[in-house]
Structure 1
Amino acid sequence: MECSEPGCERPAAVRLCIPWDENRDVCTAHARGLAQTDGIVPRPLEDADSEWP
């Protein structure tokens, strides 16, 4: 599964639980920035590929 952010082809590794919007599955790079927003809870995906550089 790929990151849900537009233009990103990295594998999704984190599910962002967003109370005011749909949850998103994103790569670790996008999760780092987006998870700093108050109210967003990052949760690692069980089947995430940890081999991605």
Structure 2
Amino acid sequence: MICSENECDQIAAVLLHIPWEENRAVCAPHARVLARKDGIVPDPLPDSADDLLEED
């Protein structure tokens, strides 16, 4: 799975739980920046992350 941020082609490593919008799978560098905002909870993705997101 690829990072959901625009123009980023890195592998997604973290699922961000964002209360005011849809959850996003992002790469580690984007997670470090975005998870600093109040209310966002980062959750590391397992190797089989593609299967997890399809279940939601």
TM-score normalized by structure 2? 0.83
In the alignment, structure 2 segments of 5+ residues that lack a partner are 49-56
Q: 2 CA distance for matches of 1:47 and 1:36?
A: 24
Q: Identify the structure with the greater helix proportion.
A: 2
Identity %: 62
In the alignment, structure 1 segments of 5+ residues that lack a partner are 49-53
Q: Which has the higher contact order (CA 8 A, sep 6+)?
A: 1
TM-score normalized by structure 1? 0.88
**Deviation >6 Å, runs of 4+:** none
Q: Once superposed, what is the RMSD of the aligned Cα atoms?
A: 1.0
